[in-house]
Amino acid sequence: MAATRATLRSWFYRPWFLAMIAAVLSTSLLITGATFVAMRQVEQNESQEMNAQGERFLARLEQLFGQLRESLDDLEAQPLRGCDEEMIATLRQVTFSYRFVYEAAYMDETRVCSNRPREEGLSAIRAPDITGPTYSYWLNTTTEPDENRAALMLGRGNFRVATSRGHLTDMVDLSPGSSLLVVLDHGTRAIPVLGTAQAWPPTEPWPPKSRDALQVTQTRLIYRMPTENPEYQLVLITPRSGMHIPALWWWMIPACLLLGAFSGFLVLLLVRQRQSLDAELHGAIRRGELQVLYQPIFDLDSRNCVGAEALLRWRRPDGTLTSPDLFIPLAENTGQIRQMTDFVLQRLLEQLGPVLRANPQLYISVNLAACDVMVPRIGQVMARLLALHRVAARQIAFEVTERGLIDVVVARENLQALRDVGHQVLIDDFGTGYCSLAYLQTLPVDCLKIDKAFIDALGHDAASSGVAPHIIHMAQALDLKVIAEGIELESQATLLSSEGVKFGQGWLFAHALSAVQFIELITRGRRLAGRRLDDEA
């Protein structure tokens, strides 16, 4: 099992493997997104086309029924009854006067006469599909694919008028499999006016009670047209053209492949850079490229140096400095941070052991990573070094960040163990993490360090300008010391001192110093006035 985990871990540290995974995943996500967009575009196109087609059909049907009713009203109003030449002439005149009236007929118990006597048109008489108070409706009077055969017929009294199939299809040509239906009997029966018969209600799932005119199912589009008559409903059904992928989609595929390859290339570069930096950092420890600098901490009233914060710096062979914000997180992720912490502790005692023994009031604080806060290892390492260099435990303080307190209960036990042997415990960058007042009251802490961002806001109208005074008052209520970080202006030092802050550090007093420079500062017994010392070894 362990061998399997090791093999998997080794694979996940291979740049090409990670780049390939990134390329495949990003390409898959992009293609999936492109397909979804294309399908949505297809649905929108289908919906727009169906809406437009339905609106054209509805407009034409309103014209058809309007003219059929008007023509029936005209025939019913004239006095002629019977099948004579004058009646046939009248019927012909109606078809000339109304564009959408294809055939007009008179019927009584014995005879039927029409303006088209030699054609089989309205001779087949059956019960009307819809019977209204004034008009009767016959739907789909012929199913033959002949544009010159009657498709809809209206009747009033002894008169019948019909329109041809061509008057419906000249507006919209139905695609194969499409149908124009009239739904009757409260939605239980449907008669095709155009196209083939359709099962009604549809057998596939669809929301029949929805108020939307257009309903989209997996295979069909159903457009229900609004009508003024509650006895019937006009429905247009057409198959979906889901396979008609937009042309844009075929351009998106190579674009997705290129973006996926680019993502893989970026991952390859990042992994190689990370591995390169990881290897360089490992070599830097062996080659002695890491150095410890000391940021002095001063009493704001007397301006005497009371201690320093140990800072780790990485100076490359070419003289350039690598930012701690870059290599410290890398060291934490790779586990090298423990080795670096031990290096800082050993180096500071080697460099400053004599000055610490000579100045018992002086102390040096060291930053602890989260991994060292959660285990008691650092106390054991520190005990050996203190015994070797004969330095008191109270002269070595440990700084922990709020973000490093992953498990407050475990952290409390380990920090208390450090305090029990004499070490001070400081909360670094207080206010930037998630440490609540309730946790702070239970943690074994001696001092709070206020982050530079809150010090910079002092005296300004920034929203965070009131954070530093709040932290100061809270610390005073808990009987904790306060150290202000990043003091660069005399006005900041004066304001902090007036608020009761006892200690501070920053470029107003000194930059980070080498061991030699820090010893010189302590030996002189005063701050290095009149000059600023950069990060020099």
Q: What percent of the chain has pLDDT over 70?
A: 76
In-domain check, residue 244: no
In-domain check, residue 247: no
Do residues 73 and 205 share a domain? Answer: yes
Comparing 307 with 137, the larger pLDDT belongs to 307
- Would you state the structure tokens that stand for residue 235, as one six-digit string? 């429905």
In-domain check, residue 33: yes
- Cα three-residue angle 139-143-147, rounded to 5 degrees: 95
In-domain check, residue 251: no
Residue 139 has pLDDT above 50, yes or no: yes
Do residues 186 and 332 share a domain? Answer: no
Domain final residue, candidates 239, 269, 298: 239
Give Dmax over CA atoms of the chain in angstroms: 139
Do residues 203 and 310 share a domain? Answer: no
In-domain check, residue 308: yes
Residue 528 has pLDDT above 50, yes or no: no
Residue 394 has pLDDT above 90, yes or no: yes
How far, in Å, are 26, 31, 48 from residue 249 at the CA level? 17, 9, 19
Residue 242 has pLDDT above 60, yes or no: no
Domain final residue, candidates 239, 258, 279: 239
Residue 487 has pLDDT above 80, yes or no: yes
User: What's the mean pLDDT in 291-295?
Assistant: 92
User: What's the mean pLDDT in 262-271?
Assistant: 65
Pair 396, 418: CB distance under 8 Å: no
- Residue 321 pairs in a beta bridge with 315
Comparing 528 with 399, the larger pLDDT belongs to 399
In-domain check, residue 281: no
Do residues 18 and 163 share a domain? Answer: yes
User: What's the mean pLDDT in 340-351?
Assistant: 92
Question: What does the DSSP 8-state code read for residue 323?
Answer: P
Do residues 84 and 19 share a domain? Answer: yes
Q: Of 533, 535, 518, 486, which Cα lies nearest the Cα of 348? A: 518
Do residues 350 and 429 share a domain? Answer: yes
Pair 314, 537: CB distance under 8 Å: no
What pLDDT score was predicted for residue 296? 96
Residue entry with tokens 């802050």? 501
- Would you state the structure tokens that stand for residue 14, as one six-digit string? 């291979």
Query: Going by C-beta distance under 8 Å and a sequence separation of 6 or more, which residues neighbour residue 166?
Result: 147, 148
Burial class (CB in 10 A: 0-12, 13-18, 19+), 254: exposed
Residue 484 has pLDDT above 70, yes or no: yes
Instruction: Report d(CA 142, CA 146) in Å as an integer.
Output: 9
- Cα three-residue angle 243-245-250, rounded to 5 degrees: 140
Stated length of the chain? 537
Do residues 192 and 307 share a domain? Answer: no
Q: Note the pLDDT tens digit of each residue in 170-212.
A: 766 677 777 777 787 777 778 777 777 777 777 666 655 566 6
Do residues 229 and 368 share a domain? Answer: no
Helix (H, G, I), strand (E, B) or coil at 1: coil
Helix (H, G, I), strand (E, B) or coil at 85: helix
Do residues 229 and 351 share a domain? Answer: no
Mean pLDDT of the chain: 78
User: What's the mean pLDDT in 373-401?
Assistant: 91
Do residues 332 and 471 share a domain? Answer: yes
Residue 122 has pLDDT above 90, yes or no: no
CB atoms within 10 A of CB 246: 14
Do residues 68 and 156 share a domain? Answer: yes
Number of structural domains in the chain:
2
In-domain check, residue 266: no
User: What's the mean pLDDT in 135-143?
Assistant: 73
What pLDDT score was predicted for residue 19? 67
Domain final residue, candidates 239, 255, 276: 239
What pLDDT score was predicted for residue 26? 76
In-domain check, residue 368: yes
Do residues 210 and 356 share a domain? Answer: no
User: What's the mean pLDDT in 333-357?
Assistant: 89
List the domain range (segments joined by +) for residue 71: 2-239
Q: Of 179, 182, 174, 173, which Cα lies nearest the Cα of 153? A: 182
Could you tell me the CATH number of the domain that includes residue 355? 3.20.20.450
Q: Of 100, 102, 99, 105, which Cα lies nearest the Cα of 75? A: 105
| For the chain, counts of helices (H) and of strands (E) | 15, 20
Residue 364 has pLDDT above 80, yes or no: yes
